[in-house]
Amino acid sequence: MKIAFHTLGCKVNQHDTQSIAGLFRAAGHQTVPFEAGADVYVINTCAVTKVSEQKSRQIIRKGIDYNPEAIVVVTGCYAQTAPQEIAGLPGVNLVVGVADRPKLVELVAEFSKNYRNQIKVTATQEIKGWQDIPVIDSLDRTRATLKVQDGCEQFCAYCIIPYARGKVRSMPIPQAIAAYSDLVSRGFREIVLTGIHLGQYGKDLGIQFHDLFAELLKIDSNCRVRLGSLEPKDITPQLLALVINNPKVCQHLHIPLQSGSDHILERMKRNYDLAYYGDLLTQIRKQNPLLSIGTDLIVGFPGESERDFENTCSFLQAQNFSRVHVFRFSPRYGTPAASFPDRVAKGVQEERSRAIQKIADNSAGQYAGQFTNRTVEVLFEEKVAGAWSGLSGEYLRVTISAEHDLKNALRMVRIQGQNNDSLIGSLIDS
């Protein structure tokens, strides 16, 4: 059968989709583009905001429109948290929870025989121990994502993900070493370590994330490694030393802030204040002033006053973030914040979001501008309009003119300037 996939949400979901696709290919099925009349549509959903759920429903309907006779499978966090809601959507055949995805090929085969719709969702409290589907193969020959952790126990007031993913579960170090080594042997030039709460890796094993990271960095390879999102309290001195001092490690960290107001951080049940966060960034930049730091911000959280918002703007302007993801508060059913009073009006949220985005864009431009006349390592991905495009270790888009094939090549580039969202450079001959 022809199987098509669509992924919404985070890098963990991207990893999970790659893994599921590998299972189908190993079973003799063919993966095809989503718009190409497939026999089976697998939609890996996100539930982090109402917008994410809305987009998930749109993609489900799009798959049905492409082929009304196709088998439609919905999995991911939205499927886990609202299985009955999704099962009620016309045209949906299988709703599969996050722990039940290893059975997807079997479930599709079963449906193709009996045509009985099914909800297969294991409750999060019943999910125990490490479970993952290895990435058997990948259509992306440049960058691979390796999920080493799942689950979250932080329970921020606004977040539904702990309810969707369950308790912290970690890939044992020997298994992680084997998986990492396998990706290296297959020629990937960058491996992204990811997890739902990556920095809590090892909580269930009696170890810490830096213990795993140190072991992976010992593996002989010609690829670089990038870290997924890390919470502020999870960046230990040991972990930071590994990031700063190893040339294999991309000089890029994504550290969610969520608000620049201590009052709002407390209401959000974040486990740090601005002083802690600011000091962490100071310590990082003392060791590498050019290290790329991205972040997430939520605007319009219940009770966010004009002063709270102004504090967020001031903090953001002072920090020179390389990238900021801005989200408007979205109440998630079952989370504490969903019932908080003092909701911020939608129009005010939108206005604040635009203001934050303007500051964020300016900050990103200033950060990128520091690299003019500097040299960066770039992993080239594709040729677009006659120019090769890739990402630097700092997660900056870099474009160069070159005639020869640079696909999957790690090369040093001297940056000459900026053009819209990309740095322009030239190869340095080795």
Q: How confident is the model at residue 384, as a pLDDT?
A: 86
Residue 246 placed within a domain = no
Residue 235 placed within a domain = no
In this structure, the strands spanning 375-384 and 387-392 are: antiparallel
Same domain flag for 272 and 381? no
In this structure, the strands spanning 252-254 and 224-227 are: unpaired
Q: How confident is the model at residue 48, as a pLDDT?
A: 94
Q: Which amino acid, 235?
A: I
Same domain flag for 262 and 361? yes
* Both tokens assigned to 12: 């963990």
Residue 140 placed within a domain = yes
Residue 77 placed within a domain = yes
| Whole-number percent of the chain with pLDDT over 90 | 92
Q: How confident is the model at residue 298, as a pLDDT?
A: 98
pTM reported for the whole predicted model: 0.93
Q: How confident is the model at residue 138, as a pLDDT?
A: 59
CATH number at residue 36: 3.40.50.12160
Same domain flag for 256 and 362? yes
Angstrom distance (rounded) from CA 47 to CA 158: 12
Q: How confident is the model at residue 227, as a pLDDT?
A: 98
Q: How confident is the model at residue 403, as a pLDDT?
A: 84
CATH number at residue 139: 3.30.750.210
Same domain flag for 320 and 386? no
- Domain boundary residue, one of 345, 370, 395: 370
CATH number at residue 348: 3.30.750.200
Three-state secondary structure call for residue 163: helix
- Domain boundary residue, one of 224, 259, 282: 224
Same domain flag for 141 and 105? no
Report the domain count for the chain: 4
Smallest CA-to-CA distance from 296 within 231, 363, 387, 220 is with 231
Q: How confident is the model at residue 89, as a pLDDT?
A: 96
276-298 residue pLDDT tens: 999 999 999 999 999 999 999 99
Same domain flag for 300 and 399? no
Angle subtended by helix axes 237-245 and 209-217, to nearest 10: 20
Smallest CA-to-CA distance from 324 within 304, 298, 344 is with 298
CA distances from 269 to 81, 175, 279, 352 (A): 21, 34, 20, 22
Residue 230 placed within a domain = no
Q: Which domain, by its residues, includes 45?
A: 2-122
User: Where does 134-172 have alpha helices with state H?
Assistant: 161-165
302-351 residue pLDDT tens: 999 999 999 999 999 999 999 999 999 999 999 999 999 999 999 999 99
366-400 residue pLDDT tens: 999 999 999 999 999 999 888 999 999 999 999 99
Same domain flag for 360 and 383? no
Q: How confident is the model at residue 97, as a pLDDT?
A: 96
Residue 239 placed within a domain = no
Q: How confident is the model at residue 268, as a pLDDT?
A: 99
Same domain flag for 364 and 381? no
Residue 65 placed within a domain = yes
Same domain flag for 313 and 399? no
Same domain flag for 6 and 72? yes
Q: How confident is the model at residue 140, as a pLDDT?
A: 59
Same domain flag for 351 and 256? yes
- Domain boundary residue, one of 346, 370, 394: 370
Q: How confident is the model at residue 349, as a pLDDT?
A: 98
* Both tokens assigned to 49: 């905001």
Mark the ranges of the chain whose per-residue pLDDT is less than 50.
430
Same domain flag for 267 and 285? yes
Q: How confident is the model at residue 141, as a pLDDT?
A: 66
